[in-house]
Chain A
Amino acid sequence: MKHNCEQDSMELSFPATEVEASVGIAKLRNQLTAHGLPAARADDVKIALAEAINNVVEHAYAGMPPETVRINCMMCRETLEVRIEDTGHPMPGLKPPDGKPPVIGNIRQDLPEGGFGWFLIHQLASKIKYERHKGYNRLSLWFDFPKSA
């Protein structure tokens, strides 16, 4: 662990339900802004984190009593690393989905109403890493903030 990067970190945890996640994500958005996250990319982080957290609520704890989602954000020089941990089911195949976007065609009734979550995460994060540890999942997302931006 690089000590200087640990100084600017924040933690948040909440029960993995849709309502608690909604409140938790809103809180996280405010905290990221308060931590001086560059505005240009702050929205990207917010969108990606909301999708990642919703996936935990919807999939990791599917068919079991929801426990806690733990979020850890570390600002390190020009990179923000966010770790999302849960004690739910492992990801299928022990890897995150590729995030192919659903097809948008010309027929209104066939328009996709979902399936954009991982696509958005892949579009917005500069690096994605998933690890299955003993009894818990850790998804790490990195976001770069070039100083010149």
Chain B
Amino acid sequence: MGLSSRTTEGTQIITVQCDRIDAAMAIQFKEDMRAETENDTRRVILDLSNVEFIDSSGLGAIVASMKQLGDERRLDLAGLHPVVEKVFRLTRMDTVFKLFNSLDEALSAGSN
């Protein structure tokens, strides 16, 4: 699937190294996210800037990734392409996640 991760000042940044998250890779994505987030970082930012397309299975896998963090840790999303953002908006999942235009914006917003 291809995720890369780094932690800066208590925030974990996970970058998706893949141009799409769809039905063919949703299960793998969820598993990889579980493995990457087995720590106690309070805030995780998922950098989606390489992701040019997402379908409802990919969306579901991102929701599942947030659920497996438990209720105390947050998952924010950054760098959404317009078509990816559209899927979040149409399904109203934009009301569940904080969406940031870029990783820099997400980092400077802090966790509040």
Residues in A lying within 8 Å of B, measured CB to CB = 18-19, 21-22, 25-26, 29, 43-44, 46-47, 50-51, 54, 57-58, 101, 104, 108-109, 111-117, 119-120, 123-124
Contacts and interface: CB of A to CB of B under 8 A. Distances in A.
Contact of A108 (B25, B67, B91): B67
Interface in B20-51: 20, 22-25
B60 A104 contact: no
Given A22-B23, A58-B23, A120 B63 contact: no
A98 B104 CA distance: 40
A116 B59 contact: yes
Contacts of B57: 54, 114
A25 B22 contact: yes
Interface of B: 19-20, 22-25, 53, 55-57, 59-61, 63-64, 66-67, 71, 82-83, 86-87, 90-93, 95-96
A109 B82 CA distance: 27
A78 B83 CA distance: 22
Given A22-B23, A50-B22, A117-B56, A43 B96 contact: no
A136 B41 CA distance: 51
Contact of B56 (A18, A111, A116): A116
User: Which 3 residue pairs spanning A and B have beta carbons closest together?
Assistant: A113-B60, A22-B24, A116-B56
A47 B54 CA distance: 8
Contacts of A124: 90
B66 A43 contact: no
A14 B92 CA distance: 32
Given A47-B83, A111-B63, A120-B90, A18 B23 contact: yes
Contact of A46 (B19, B53, B61): B53
Nearest to A57: B23
Contacts of A114: 56-57, 60
Contacts of A104: 92-93, 95-96
B91 A120 contact: yes
A22 B25 contact: yes
